[in-house]
Amino acid sequence: MNTTDKPPTPALPATALAPMQDVTTPEFMRIIAQKGAPDWFVTEFIRVHATSTPAPELLARLDNNGTGRPVYAQLIGENIPAMVRTASRLLRHRVAGIDLNLGCPAPKICRKHVGGGLLRDLAHVDALLGSLREVVPPGKFTVKARIGFDDASPLPSLVALVNKHAVDLLTLHARTVRERYHGPVHYDALAWAARALRCPLIANGDITTPECVARVAAATGCAGVMIGRHAVRNPWIFRQIREQSTPGATVFRPLLGDVRDYITELCTLTAPPGMSPVRVAAHMKKYLNFIGTQVDPQGAFLHAMRRAGDLAGLLRVCDAHLTRDGNADKPYAPEPYPGLRARPNCE
């Protein structure tokens, strides 16, 4: 197939929730699904090494994900026999397919020659893709990568490997591994890749609003978008994308009261049973660090939230900023306020 044989990009862009380590648990995916599910989900990465085997509780959670949508199991590792063995095992369970992580920029991951670190060794990527393609059936093999490690120079070779091994779909975060989550995204690189690929391209990186989706699709020719951090901030974003793309539909705009209800769900459904109030507060802050960037332009909520010592104090901060004094009926900002940032997880 050459690039002119690809079907046209549909009017309604495909959507996926990005895998984020310690965030995209089955419980979090179910919360997102209730707000307006994306077309598919991807699990947080499953670390594979020579002696690893999928834990029984992991397999049970894959078999009963409860989202009503396809869920891809993402693998990260460099040991080819172990990756093949694990992919074959997972495919006997209720997964939509296997996603290979070639993009995680966390230094502790890259140092181990996995994730984004593998973009420095495309010969090994070639062998890994070929071996996985032999055991993963057509339509079930996807890859998530970045445009390069230090710069975008590896991108043409990576795209050639994706074409060579008939990967079914490629998601590209439009930054290098070195850039992590900082600086501008390189949509020109995505546009080039979309033209060169024989499979659909999914754009990832700073997809903040439904309006942004339309701009990125027009600029790159991508088939859809994968959203991570901005879905933590705004769990209604996939619903909004569909509404934005549907003529005559009204786009849902959440209020601060809706955000307070979302926080209750996160607290109730994602905190492990038996966790102490202090640890639950710490657990919740990984979500609130994102949510808080859209609450008030001064960052007062973020400042107070980060200083709460236990769950009761944290929820008092949430009530004070989101529901008291008429705040519940105030609009939630559509994207982060300038100057307010959170510490991102792997996306």
| Whole-prediction pTM | 0.92
The residue-averaged pLDDT of 79-100 equals 97
Query: Is 110 in a helix, a strand, or coil?
Result: helix
The better pLDDT of the pair 182, 67 is held by 67
Q: Average pLDDT of the chain?
A: 93
pLDDT of residue 2: 40
Residue from 88, 90, 77, 96 nearest 17 by CA: 96
CA–CA separation, 220 vs 104, rounded Å? 22
Residue 1 has pLDDT above 50, yes or no: no
Q: In this model, does residue 11 exceed pLDDT 90? A: no
Cα distance between residue 347 and residue 193, in whole Å: 19
Rounded mean pLDDT, 21-38: 95
d(CA 24, CA 235): 12
Sign of CA dihedral 242, 244, 247, 253: positive
Kindly state the DSSP code that residue 235 receives in the 8-state scheme: T
C-alpha 200, offset from chain centre = 17
Helix segments in 76-154, DSSP class H: 80-90, 107-110, 122-135
- Using CB atoms within 10 A of its CB, is residue 50 exposed (0-12), middle (13-18) or buried (19+)? exposed
- Mean pLDDT computed over 240-258: 95
pLDDT band at 9 (very low <50, low <70, confident <90, very high): very low
Measured between alpha carbons, how far is 19 from 169 in angstroms, rounded to an integer?
A: 15
Strand partners, 255: 331
In a 3-state reduction of DSSP, which class is residue 250? Answer: coil
Q: What is the DSSP string of 177-198?
A: TTTTT-S---HHHHHHHHHH-S
Give 293-314 pLDDT, tens digit per residue.
999 999 999 999 999 999 999 9
pLDDT over 90 (residue 241): yes
Residue 216 reports pLDDT greater than 50: yes
The sign of the CA dihedral 148, 218, 143, 4 is: negative
Q: CA 104 to CA 173: how far, in whole Å?
A: 10
From residue 166, alpha-carbon distances to 1, 100, 120, 135 in Å are 10, 14, 21, 13
Question: Does residue 342 have a pLDDT over 80?
Answer: no
Three-class SS of residue 273? coil
List CB contacts of 313: < 8 A, sequence separation 6 or more: 281
Type of residue at 19: P
**In the predicted model, what is the mean pLDDT of residues 322-343?**
90
Helix residue ranges, H only, 91-236: 107-110, 122-135, 155-164, 187-196, 210-220, 229-233
Reduced to 3 states (helix: H, G, I; strand: E, B; else coil), residue 66 is: coil
Q: Cα(220)–Cα(201) distance, rounded to whole angstroms?
A: 9
